Amino acid sequence: MVIHSSSNSYKIILGEQIRFALSDFLSKDYSSVFVITDEKVAALYLADIIGNFSSKKVYESIIPHGEQSKSIESFYKLQTEAITNGLDRNSLIIALGGGVVGDLAGFIAATFMRGIDYIQIPTTILAHDSSVGGKVAINHELGKNLIGSFYPPVAVIYDIDTLKSLGEREVRSGYAEIVKEALIADESMFNTLLMTNICSVSNEQLQEHLAYGINVKANIVEADEKESGIRKYLNLGHTLAHALESELGYGALTHGEAVAIGLLFSLHVSEDVFQHPLPFQELYTWLSDNGYPTSLHAWNVDSLISKMKSDKKTVNKKIQMVLLKEIGKPTTKEIDDLSMKAYLVSFIRKLVNQ
């Protein structure tokens, strides 16, 4: 599949063992290569990637795994390494890992010498979403992804063999974004997913779900790369999810776990706003059957609302949520603070009473 963005067109290649054949997908002769990965992924796949570049200068940097690495400190450290390694404008950065590595390494590529090429080599299910579309960013203590850019990669090389080493928590996290894509795009896939036990999913099913998710995402980002309109729909569930991630401390919930709760919340609000029943209960049951954390601890509602205001969809301090008129019919809606407070309180009550 090829994605056409404002600055380039890039391929998304999905396959088995393709991490050993990177030169098949690179069209330029780079002066050097800088692989950025995390400690878990490095132990599993870094040698495979480096093996592709025997005749080139290859540098590597291994960051601690987890959301806390999407920080200004990691950003500065990696920029320093890029400079001291002598990277130039003809160097290539490789983001080898999940969404944390992808977002961080992509932002390094976007800003080093005002922008050099990078490729995404996603290694998590969740990264079917993060590696496509060119959103790159780091977190601020006050909010998720607040410092970043739109900067597409030159290729996405998705070796699905690497997904076999993922733990259950990461499988869950990735599936939350696939459920999101189904909710914004079509009911039949959503119903199929609700019949899937994600911890015993077959290879073929997983490939089908990944291809589906990438297709939904690719169509949206091609139509609205910089999020002036329909790209906002990919943010379904994220207004609350990002606030929770920041409020509870980055890494306390995985991004997908937070998105799962955020999706439930968007169904809760949508049902009230559009006075139309949505499958809140069905999604809740599926999430708990599949081991997502759905029982809540004390949330500070006022603090969450203030975090929700740093969402990138906010205009004039008014929160905009992505809601569903029906499955497959997303829209955006401004929610005032009083209503938001009431929705959060009733949502918490609903979850506690499950």
Ligand X SMILES: O=C(O)C(=O)C[C@@H](O)[C@H](O)[C@H](O)COP(=O)(O)O
38 is known to lie in a ligand binding site = no
Secondary structure (DSSP) of 250-276? TTSS-HHHHHHHHHHHHHHHHHHHHT-
Interacting span for ligand X (CB under 6 A) from 71-79, 228-236, 272-280, 299-307: 228-236
CA 298 to chain CA mean position, Å: 26
Cross-sheet strand order for the sheet of 57-63: 2-4, 9-15, 155-159, 117-122, 92-97, 32-38, 57-63
Secondary structure (DSSP) of 148-163? EEE---SEEEEEGGGG
245 is known to lie in a ligand binding site = no
The answer to whether residue 37 forms part of the interface with ligand NAD (CB under 6 A) is no
Among ligand NAD, ligand X, none, what does residue 237 contact (CB within 5–8 Å per kind)? none
To ligand NAD, the closest distance from the beta carbon of 146 in angstroms equals 11
The answer to whether residue 231 forms part of the interface with ligand X (CB under 6 A) is yes
97 is known to lie in a ligand binding site = no
Single out the residue of 33, 101, 253, 327 in contact with ligand NAD (rule: CB under 6 A): 101
**Cα–Cα distances in angstroms (integers) from residue 120 to residues 113, 114, 125, 216, 247, in the given order:** 19, 19, 13, 18, 29
Coil, helix or strand at residue 56: coil
Nearest residue to 14 (alpha-carbon basis) of 153, 151, 207: 207
The answer to whether residue 87 forms part of the interface with ligand NAD (CB under 6 A) is no
Segment 125-154, which members bind ligand X (CB under 6 A)?
Answer: 129, 133, 135, 144-145
How is residue 239 written in tokens?
A: 């207004």
Look at phi and psi of residue 273 and say left if phi exceeds 0, alpha if psi is from -120 to 50, else beta.
alpha
**333 and 343 Cβ atoms separated by less than 8 Å:** no
Site string for ligand NAD, 170-209 (x = CB under 6 A): x--x---x--------------------------------
The answer to whether residue 239 forms part of the interface with ligand NAD (CB under 6 A) is no
* Nearer of residues 32 and 239 to ligand X, judged by Cβ: 239
The answer to whether residue 155 forms part of the interface with ligand X (CB under 6 A) is no
* Nearer of residues 141 and 272 to ligand NAD, judged by Cβ: 141
Q: Please identify which residue in the block is written with the tokens 């490095």.
A: 42
Question: For binding to ligand NAD (CB under 6 A), which residues are involved?
Answer: 38, 40-41, 44, 65-67, 70, 97-101, 103, 123-124, 126-127, 129-130, 133, 135, 145, 162-163, 165-166, 170, 173, 177, 254-256
Question: Which residues are documented as binding site for NAD(+)?
Answer: 99-103, 123-124, 135, 144
